Structure 1
Amino acid sequence: MIASYLEDHLIVLGVKPVAQWSVKGNVVQQYLQKDLAGVPLIPHDLPPEVVMSYNPDLLIVDSAEMVAGDRYSQYAKITPTIAVGTEKNNDWRQELLTVGDVLNKKEEAKKVLADYEAKAKDAREQLKKAIGTQSAAALWVTGKAVFVVDEHLSSGDLLYKDLGLTIPEVVKEASKQNDANWKPLSTEKLAELNADHLFVVQGKGVNRDEMKKDPIWLQMPAVKNGHVYVFDDSSSWLYTGAIANSHMIDDVLKSVVK
């Protein structure tokens, strides 16, 4: 089977796909590679002829957009095809339950979610004891721009909903821009980001020493107080799912709870 960009769900349910999501022929979900070692890559836009070459017994896609137009009929000629959601940014919990249902692993999916919720609750309590109502933000710094995570999506959903950290005003404003997981931040808005803690995803080609010298960076509260935690873009911070979120919880606790 192929379930491109849904591999986090497959792995926690004990299923190995015949091909895994990739971009540009070499960008993969690095945090899953221990479990996906040896699984060949398939382009993220799932060209029908490439899907056919793997002869999957099932194709699961993460949104109706992926099977829009005549795509569904093209895929359906190859193998049974299911879209697990209607939106580009589906709730990962519902996605997991839907994938579990499709694979006849409904109870396993419920158990994964229950275990995750227990871990998140415990982490939330630890954080409350350690830092009270302090605020946090996740930034993705690339060679071209700085992005902040949406308060409702990806690691924003984890930081604010699951872990109960306070949302800075700049994050609330940026979250209204569009439906992308990560929103571009202007220099002016970056300067206004009064977060107590910063979780920074450092993109390839970004010089951390240069970042540290930036006057805007230097005046930020989290930077002044030594509350900046840096992860490279092979970490789980750009993704979502039971495995990705569990890794992020570990990262937050290790960084913040002394």
Structure 2
Amino acid sequence: MKVKSKQLVVLLLVFVFIIAGCGNQSSNSDANGQAAQNGQKEQTDSQAGTESESSALKTVTYLGKDYQVPEKAGKIAVLAVEAMEEMHVLGVKPYAAAKDMYVNGIPEEMGDSLDGVKWIDSGVQPDKEQLLALKPDVILTTARLDAETLKPLEQIAPTIPLSFSGADSEANITVVAEITGKAEEAKNVIEGYKEQLQKSKELIAGSSNKDKTVMYLRISTQYGLSGYSAQTTYNAVLYDGLGLSVPELIGAIERRETIPLEKMAQANPDYIFALVPLNDLQAIEDLKTKPLWNQIQAVQDGHVYVNPVHPDLFGTPILSKTKFLEQVTATLGNAK
């Protein structure tokens, strides 16, 4: 009986140890499982926070329309020259840019703004697959594109088409500044241009050139003589900015038109500022052989100024307007 009793005690002890071991194992398993769940939750929360931060949006308003853009837009694709000059003066390099943005090479006024960018083929209507692969935060293009052409760009990233009107220069640089976080820099650029414009206006108003007929033209073999509306690109500097009289020929143009040489001779401007492609300078040489061209007062007086600024500076951004203003002031403001 004693032996059986001892055996029974041993069995009971073994059973107790087994139960205790199972309990500890279950407890450890529960603890480890809970810890794993907590870790997963923290990781999920962290990822959600990162995603939320990277996808945070803000609203920018441009020419009466609201656009939703990333709060921090580090990857900006620039497809047209309207935006490129604004980026330069604000000290911001684009992430990607259209390869054929500049016909005559990158203007020296742009400095190193395009060094190291990712180039996109096909210009303002880019290679869509290439652009999609770059995953830009924002696309800056031109209002010269129609709504149908803009659609595929808008499906890739928020797309803002910048105006080509000289009257919208301030709005253009302001919206680019809002996107890039450079509001103070934009304010300084705008104020500096206005001060320079006012000084030039006063100088020319006090000169003998204040009542002269002044025109800005584009000249090329393909398009001949082209004129622009009074508000477009550099004309905004001449007429609204400096207060020069709008020639009747220019006032009749809605956007851009080819001007027959006969009409140019009739308009008979006193000063001509002409932009000619660097690879097509023969176009101005060919004009010199035309009798009607040589009858124009500006030609007879030697007042035709070819490429006072680089022909690929666009004329709407404040950078190119400033460069043009400097040349016009030096030409018209010194006559007494």
User: TM-score by structure 2 length?
Assistant: 0.65
Matched residue type, 1:110: K
Give the structure 1 partner of residue 269 of structure 2.
195
Q: Do the aligned residues in 2 keep the contact of 1:124 with 1:162 (CA within 8 Å)?
A: yes
Looking at structure 1, the residues matched to 319 and 114 of structure 2 have their Cα atoms a distance apart, in angstroms, of 16
Give the structure 2 partner of residue 4 of structure 1.
79
Q: Are 1:254 and 2:334 matched, yes or no? A: no
Looking at structure 1, the residues matched to 144 and 305 of structure 2 have their Cα atoms a distance apart, in angstroms, of 36
1:236-255 equivalences under 5 Å are 238-255=314-331
Q: Which moved more, 1:106-115 or 1:43-52?
A: 43-52
1:69-108 equivalences under 5 Å are 70-76=151-157, 81-83=158-160, 89=165, 91-108=168-185
From 229, 234, 258, the counterpart of 1:150: 229
Matched residue type, 1:50: Q
Q: 1:133 to 1:88 in 2, by over 3 A?
A: closer
Give the structure 2 partner of residue 217 of structure 1.
293
Looking at structure 2, the residues matched to 73 and 213 of structure 1 have their Cα atoms a distance apart, in angstroms, of 48
Structure 2: stretches of 5+ with no match in the other structure: 1-75
Matched residue type, 1:138: Y
Q: 1:64 to 1:223 in 2, by over 3 A?
A: closer
Structure 1: stretches of 5+ with no match in the other structure: none
What is the CA deviation profile of residues 51-93 of structure 1, one whole-angstrom value per residue up to 9, with x for unaligned ones?
23434333233449566464255313xxxx14255x6647121
Q: Do the aligned residues in 1 keep the contact of 2:79 with 2:140 (CA within 8 Å)?
A: yes
Q: Which moved more, 1:15-24 or 1:100-109?
A: 15-24
More helix by share: 2
Residues matched between the structures, number: 248
Task: Give SS of 2:77's match.
Answer: coil
Q: Do the aligned residues in 1 keep the contact of 2:103 with 2:312 (CA within 8 Å)?
A: no
Q: Are 1:51 and 2:131 matched, yes or no? A: yes
Give the structure 1 partner of residue 211 of structure 2.
133
Identical amino acids, percent of aligned pairs = 21
Choose 1 or 2 for highest CA Rg.
2
Q: Which moved more, 1:27-36 or 1:160-169?
A: 27-36
Q: Cα distance, 1:212 vs. partner?
A: 2.1
Task: Give SS of 1:127's match.
Answer: helix
Q: Do the aligned residues in 2 keep the contact of 1:159 with 1:165 (CA within 8 Å)?
A: yes
Q: Cα distance, 1:120 vs. partner?
A: 0.9
